[in-house]
Structure 1
């Protein structure tokens, strides 16, 4: 396993890439409403990223089958957990949730973040799923400090979500990040404390709980990208790019721009 520790200069470039992701998600938040198609959102994101001097990291990114992702963002609606492909047929409706995963490449370094948005009036049951998932992200990040282990991150996320009655997807994980969008190590959202790779100062990882309202079983769709819940129940996905530090992890991405618009929904 090749895990690359980042210099302070590299972390600063990753911060710039990650903050642009946060600004892109904030721009998209202005447009998320009933009647909007996921393809419209993709076009907004692509233009915004390029206008700010970066490239969309996801466009052309290959899956394990060698097929390039066709769009600049992933738009995963309701029971789609991750990797939903934007199109002009998927129209947002009142009560939907949509997870938008976004990545940028800025000056050779990547940033990656995801936020699950409410569309119009969303049920309290689904808002609880979103809050639990978002809270679990920060609990995982609290464990992302030098001297702890990957299992500590996964355990914090898993315990919080399963104790609230939700499923944790096992087949998809967080990941290392740097010059490449996906670097070693994998960062599972489940595990045991004090197990797995020891975390070191300067490691940069994407922590991203993917949580289901029902059981954790999934389907991979024929497009070989879209991943859905097998029981058809909604899912949530939140993600930050993080630098491992001594004492306290440093979050390089930001939800600040989104939360200015979203407000306190849950």
Structure 2
């Protein structure tokens, strides 16, 4: 759809197009003509969108803080689900996972060899030495925020502790690789190099994603890749970085019974941290953590 220079900008800022995104759009068009893969306009966020996501992130971040004060050996994963659900609803949010494509709970809780999408249950009890990923996504006024953290239950093995630390380092280097007008492959290249340098592997079947008014938007964010390859990362994009790092082989499988829980194929430990990132004109902003 064409837009006149003096029309209101498509981003919703209220400014005239020529004073807002005209030069941005011209730059994108020029880069596309040079062969670059450019993001579609619908995933570029305006300031009102970012503020909406930040409201969702306030609840999301607070939930993960709360989990950190409550999680312990002897606790069922269903108790974590109830904690997340009650906090979310009482603070005006909606737990995004609940009923998403049939998922039955309000949070994902993944223990030890579970890579992601662990379904909470009264029968699954946290044990001393477990490493646990709690993945929370919150909707407020139609905007999403998504993050996960690792928790270590009591005294964990040296292997488990090291994996949790390596996974966090992989998250950090992946985020550090994001530059406005850089490339999607920069993220994966940085994560892969960090994991492999530490003797770990990166899950390739799953990755991060764009996020905003939908749980999952373009682009898919792989955590392996080549620097300088893939879609351009431009100001206004919002996406998750969430590398899943295995102590053993990268291969995974999905539980046949529940259709959700993803396990390491070799039964090795897995760890993951996730942040929601906003790409700005000068760098990045971490919205949900």
- Fold equivalence (TM over 0.5): yes
Structure having the higher Rg: 2
- Counterpart check, 1:209 vs 2:278: no
2:96 aligns with 57
Which of 210, 213, 221 matches 1:187?
221
2:252 aligns with 218
Distance between the aligned counterparts of 1:98 and 1:224, measured in 2?
A: 20
1:28 aligns with 67
1:166 aligns with 200
- 1:19, distance to aligned residue in structure 2 (A): 2.5
Which of 273, 278, 282 matches 1:243?
278
Q: Deviations over 1:35-58 (max 9, x none)?
A: 000001100100000111100011
SS in 2 for 1:30: helix
Distance between the aligned counterparts of 1:188 and 1:240, measured in 2?
A: 14
Q: Deviations over 1:90-137 (max 9, x none)?
A: 100000011010100011100000111101111122111111111111
SS in 1 for 2:218: strand
Unaligned 5+ runs, structure 1: 63-67, 255-266
1:121 aligns with 155
2:124 aligns with 90
- Counterpart check, 1:37 vs 2:76: yes
Unaligned 5+ runs, structure 2: 1-38
Distance between the aligned counterparts of 1:224 and 1:246, measured in 2?
A: 41
1:142–1:248: 8 Å Cα contact kept in structure 2? no
1:15 aligns with 54
1:234 aligns with 269
Distance between the aligned counterparts of 1:210 and 1:197, measured in 2?
A: 21
Distance between the aligned counterparts of 2:44 and 2:227, measured in 1?
A: 23
Q: Deviations over 1:12-47 (max 9, x none)?
A: 111121231111011111221110000011001000
Distance between the aligned counterparts of 1:74 and 1:99, measured in 2?
A: 8
Distance between the aligned counterparts of 1:160 and 1:248, measured in 2?
A: 21
1:145–1:246: 8 Å Cα contact kept in structure 2? no
Superposition TM-score, scaled by structure 1 size: 0.91
